[in-house]
Structure 1
Amino acid sequence: MRYDLDDLRLFTSVALEGSITGGARVMHLSLPSASARVRALEAQAGVPLLIRERRGVRLTPAGATLARHAREVLAETVRLDSAVASYVVSRAEPIRLVAGGSAMHLLVPAALATFLRDHPEYDVNVKERRTNRSVRILAAGEADLGVILDDEPTALRTEPLADDSLVVIGQAGGVLAGRVSIAYAEVAEHPLVALDRGTPLALWMEERLGPQAPVPRYRTLVPTLHTLITLASAGAGLAIVPRRAVDTIPSIDICPLQDAWSTRAHLLCYAARAPEAAHLLAQHLHAAASVQA
C-alpha cells in the first residue's frame, strides 16, 4: 500500500490529540476534510483504525500499529530532508566576519553555533585579525562585520557588545588568594605563562606596557587561550586573560588588574555596506554576549 505523508501526519496528530477535531486543528484542516481523509486511510488499510466515541477517539490495535510506524516514517523523512539540505549550496554570498583572539575564544563560536543552525541559507567566513587590521579590512569593504576593541578610532558604525577587561588568574589557593586587585608590576614578579608573542592579545599588551615595563619570566608561551587557562589553573604560573574567558571556571583564583589599560570592551563594527545577513549575525553575537555576561 502507498501512504500519503500528510495523511500520516494527520493520523498521528489525531492519535496524540485523542480526537479528529484536535488533529484537524493541528493540521489546519476543516473537520469535514480531516474526517474524510481518516476514512480514506481506513479504507486503504482495510481495517478500522479508530474507535469513535462521544468524547473523542481511541486507537484500535491496527491503529496503534499504524501510528507507531507512521511516527517512525515521519521522523525518517525529517532526517532525510536534513541530510539532503546539507548538500545545498548557499545562494547568498558568505558573510565575512573578522574578530580578535579574545572574541574567538568563546563569543564567536557561541554566536556561530546558533546562527548557522537558525539560518541554513547563509554561510560565514571567519578570520582572526587584530583590531587595527580588522578596522582597515572593514573600511575597505573586504569584510562585513567585525568584533573589535574599543581603543581603535573609526568612522564606521559601531555598537557596544561586551566587556573584555583583562584579569590575572592562578591556581586556586595560590598567590592570588584573598586579593581584590593587583598591579601588573607585582604580577611580573611571579613566574607567568602567556600567549605566543605573535598572537593578538600578546601584541596588544606589548604595545601598552612599553619598554619600561618589568620583564617577567615566562615559563612557556602557548598558542591558545584554552591552553593558557589550563596551565594557569594547574599552577604552572600566573596568566593574564580576558575575564569573560574564565568567569564560568570555579577552580581558579581571579584577580582584577589595577592598571588602566586592562579595562577594555568589545564593539561590533559594521562595514559601510554590510548586507542584511550581517545584521542577523550581529543579533546572534549580542545574544551570545548576554548569555556569557
Structure 2
Amino acid sequence: MRFDLTDLRLFLHIAETGSITAGAERSAMALASASARIRGMEEALGIPLLERGRRGARPTPAGRAVVHHARQVMHQLERMRGELNDYAKGLKGHVRLLSNTAAINEFLPDALAGFLAANPNIDIDLEERPSHAIVEAVAAGLADLGVVADMVDLAGLETRPFRSDRLVLVVPRGHRLAGGGAVAFADTLDEPFVGLSTGSALQEYLNSHAARAGRSLSFRVRVRGPVALCRLVERGVGIGIVPEMAAQRARESAALQVVPLSDPWAPRVLMLCARRFDELSAHARRLVEDLTAQPPVLAPPEPLSGP
C-alpha cells in the first residue's frame, strides 16, 4: 500500500464534495489524473473505495475507513505545521471552515479579512452549507470548524458563541403584512416569495420550517444573495426573509418595510463548533481565538420600517 499525501488529500476532497470531478478541481488536478490515482488506490487494496453513480461518488465502507484515517493524517500534518511555524516562517497552515448563510454573508468577511491580514501564513478553505450538514461534516472529521445556528443538534461537539443573528421578513412598502407588529412565519406562506438560490443554507433552513407546517414556499424568483433579494422585494416582486443586518443595509436606499418574525427560531446565536477545540492545529486554535474574541449580543428588535 503506497498512498501518498496527494492521494489522501484527493480522496478527502472527493468524499467532501461527493464528486470525483469536484474533488479533482479542489485538488488542482486534472480529472484523468485524479481518476487514475483513485484506481491505483483501489488496486493496491483490492477493493472498491467509491460507489460511482449518476449523482456523483460516495465512499464505500472501506472508503469511509480511508476517509477516517486520511483525516487523521491531515490533522496531524496541520498540527505539525502549527507547532513548527515559529521555527519555519515560510510554512503554510490550512484551516477548513464551514459556515451557514448568515455568518458567511454578514459576519465572516470582516472577521476573516482581519485574521488573514494578520496571519499571512494561514490559508482558509471556506464553504457554505446548511447547519445540520456542517455538524455532520465536523463530527465526521471532514472539516476543522463550523459556524452554525444554535437551533441545530450539537450533541457530541464542543461549541463557543460566535455572533448573534435574527431573521426578519422584508416586504414592499404598504404590504398587508407590514404595520401590525411581529408576524408568524406560517402567516406568510400564502405569499409569493423572492428566495435565495438552490444550495443556500438559509433557504434550506426556511424550506424545512415550511415543510414542518405542511406547506412549501412559492418562489417568483431565486437569487444568490440578500442584497439582490431585497432589491426585488422593493420592486414588488414578492416578500422575503433575510438576516436583520442585511435588511438594515438594504433599507438605507430601498423602499422596504422590515417586519419582525414572532417564531422562536427567528432570533439565533451563531455557534463555532469543533470536535475538540484542544485537539485542533495551532492555526485552527488561533482562528478560534480570533473569531470568539467578541461575545455575541442579541439586542431587542427595533421597529424597522422603510422611508
| Length-normalised TM-score, structure 1 | 0.61
Look up the match of 1:106: 106
Distance across 2 between alignment mates of 1:269 and 1:143: 10
Q: CA deviation at 1:177?
A: 3.7
Instruction: Describe how 1:52-63 pairs up with structure 2 within 5 A.
Output: none
Look up the match of 1:29: none
**Equivalent residue for 1:285, pick from 283, 287, 291:** 291
* Closer/same/farther in 2, CA of residues 136 and 212 from structure 1, 3 Å limit: closer
**Equivalent residue for 1:262, pick from 266, 275, 280:** 266
Q: CA deviation at 1:266?
A: 0.9
Distance across 1 between alignment mates of 2:90 and 2:237: 46
Q: CA deviation at 1:194?
A: 0.9
Look up the match of 1:237: 238
Moved over 4 A (4+): 287-293
Work out whether residues 129 and 199 of structure 2, in 8 Å CA contact, stay in contact via their aligned partners in 1.
no
AA partner of residue 155 (structure 2): T
Instruction: Report the 3-state secondary structure (helix = DSSP H, G, I; strand = E; otherwise coil) of the residue aligned with 2:93.
Output: coil
Instruction: Describe how 1:166-205 pairs up with structure 2 within 5 A.
Output: 166-205=167-206
Q: CA deviation at 1:173?
A: 4.3
Look up the match of 1:274: 280
Q: CA deviation at 1:239?
A: 0.1
Give me the identity figure in percent.
31
Could you report, residue by residue, the CA deviation over 1:72-121 in whole angstroms, capped at 9, with x for unpaired residues? xxxxxxxxxxxxxxxxx951321111111221112111111111111112
Distance across 2 between alignment mates of 1:291 and 1:154: 23
RMSD: 2.8
| Length-normalised TM-score, structure 2 | 0.59
Instruction: Report the 3-state secondary structure (helix = DSSP H, G, I; strand = E; otherwise coil) of the residue aligned with 1:164.
Output: strand
* Closer/same/farther in 2, CA of residues 253 and 282 from structure 1, 3 Å limit: farther
Work out whether residues 168 and 254 of structure 1, in 8 Å CA contact, stay in contact via their aligned partners in 2.
yes
- Structure 1's unaligned 5+ residue stretches are 1-88
Aligned length: 206
Could you report, residue by residue, the CA deviation over 1:34-83 in whole angstroms, capped at 9, with x for unpaired residues? xxxxxxxxxxxxxxxxxxxxxxxxxxxxxxxxxxxxxxxxxxxxxxxxxx
* Closer/same/farther in 2, CA of residues 159 and 211 from structure 1, 3 Å limit: closer
Instruction: Describe how 1:39-188 pairs up with structure 2 within 5 A.
Output: 91-150=91-150, 151-188=152-189
* Closer/same/farther in 2, CA of residues 122 and 266 from structure 1, 3 Å limit: same
Work out whether residues 111 and 281 of structure 1, in 8 Å CA contact, stay in contact via their aligned partners in 2.
no
- Whichever of the two has the greater Rg, that structure is 1
Could you report, residue by residue, the CA deviation over 1:149-202 in whole angstroms, capped at 9, with x for unpaired residues? 212222221012222332101234444442321122322233221123442222
Instruction: Report the 3-state secondary structure (helix = DSSP H, G, I; strand = E; otherwise coil) of the residue aligned with 1:181.
Output: coil
* Closer/same/farther in 2, CA of residues 289 and 225 from structure 1, 3 Å limit: farther
